[in-house]
Amino acid sequence: MISVCLIASFFAASPLVERINNNPANTWKARDYPANIISIAKAKENIKFPETQTAKKSFAPLSTGDFPETFNCGERWPGSIGPVRDVGTCGGSWAFATANVVAARLYTINKGVGPLSPQDLVSCCDDAYGCQGADIEVVWHHLHYGGVTTEECIPWVSGYGRVPLCPAHCKDGSNITRQWVKSYTMIEGGEPAMMKQMMEEGPIVGGFMMFADFLQYTSGIYHYVEGGFIAANTVMIFGWGVENGVKYWNCMNNWGPYWGENGFFRIQRGINTCSIEGLSSAGHFYF
């Protein structure tokens, strides 16, 4: 018969999770996830940002006082925030984030076509590194010249790290139709510049320095507590708000709906938490 002590130890939280949850000053809660939901291997990604994108607080003439206290692209443009998807053990969050942002921005100009294909980017962006990451400017350059097709045309198959060759046709044998961005911006100016981009054109791609404690996030407004650096993560930022006096960004991750707040998370805004306000970008449908 299994003892009560053994049962208790089996369900006991890790020391890191206990320290996070037992600190009343923290604005978020943690939990231990099974490896099929999130692991170090799953979180690894080598995403590169331009050296000119420095991790600074805002120096732009815009003020956060020029914007509403809360804003959500999904409410402003219904249908623009697609379903949460799971990158698997492929370091392809860069592809998911950029595909999600381009798809959402098509909705803002009434040209939505549904979810776009991260697989198309992972397999067809020649100067990226597939499941090993990408240079974010290279990705936008590809989206300008090569475009991206729909998830229905080229569904995600690289969840276990295998990257097939760029397909010549859609899964059903039909011709591939791709969406191109006409230009892109590496956003400078921090918090207000990011807010302006979202209010005018929709979600943006956000990069941030990811540490070990982020993997245990389950709810609340994330800020770094402890743990070593893992990788730079790439997500979609689609809004902002305030809770109990703490400002935050609304973000969609790429680890499936069973992580975080149903696949989403919030991260502190206005203090450049984990460089979140120095590593953002966006594509446009105008020159």
Which residues lie closer than 8 Å to 131 by C-beta, 6 or more apart?
Answer: 89, 90, 91, 92, 122, 158, 161, 163
Of 57-61, 87-91, 269-273, 282-286, give the lowest mean pLDDT range. Answer: 57-61
Closest CA to 30 of 244, 265, 190: 265
Burial of 234 (0-12, 13-18, 19+ CB in 10 A): buried
**pLDDT per residue as tens digits for the range 117-176:** 999 999 999 999 999 999 999 999 999 999 999 999 999 999 999 999 999 999 999 999
Q: What is the pLDDT of residue 67?
A: 94
Q: Residues 187, 197: contact at Cβ < 8 Å?
A: yes
The residue ranges of every structural domain in the chain are 30-284
Closest CA to 101 of 214, 232, 252: 252
Find out if CATH 3.90.70.10 is the number for domain 30-284.
Answer: yes
Q: What is the pLDDT of residue 7?
A: 37
Rounded to two decimals, what is the model's pTM?
0.91
Round to whole Å and give the CA distance between 115 and 111: 12
**pLDDT per residue as tens digits for the range 218-277:** 999 999 999 999 999 999 999 999 999 999 999 999 999 999 999 999 999 999 999 999
Q: What is the pLDDT of residue 267?
A: 98
Place of tokens 């499936």: 256
**pLDDT per residue as tens digits for the range 171-209:** 999 999 999 999 999 999 999 999 999 999 999 999 999
**pLDDT per residue as tens digits for the range 27-63:** 999 999 999 999 888 887 777 777 544 444 334 456 7
Using the predicted structure, report yes or no on whether residue 9 has a pLDDT greater than 90: no
Q: What is the pLDDT of residue 49?
A: 77
| Tokens at 270, concatenated | 């206005």
Closest CA to 67 of 190, 244, 199, 202: 199
Q: What is the pLDDT of residue 41?
A: 80
Which residues lie closer than 8 Å to 53 by C-beta, 6 or more apart?
Answer: 186, 188, 278, 279
Round to whole Å and give the CA distance between 10 and 2: 11
Round to whole Å and give the CA distance between 164 and 141: 21
Q: What is the pLDDT of residue 51?
A: 57
Round to whole Å and give the CA distance between 21 and 217: 10
Question: How far apart, in Å, are the Cα atoms of 118 and each of 5, 93, 205, 286?
Answer: 46, 9, 14, 23
User: At 8, is the pLDDT very low, low, confident or very high (cuts 50, 70, 90)?
Assistant: very low
**Average pLDDT of the chain, as a whole number:** 91
The letter for the amino acid at 59 is F
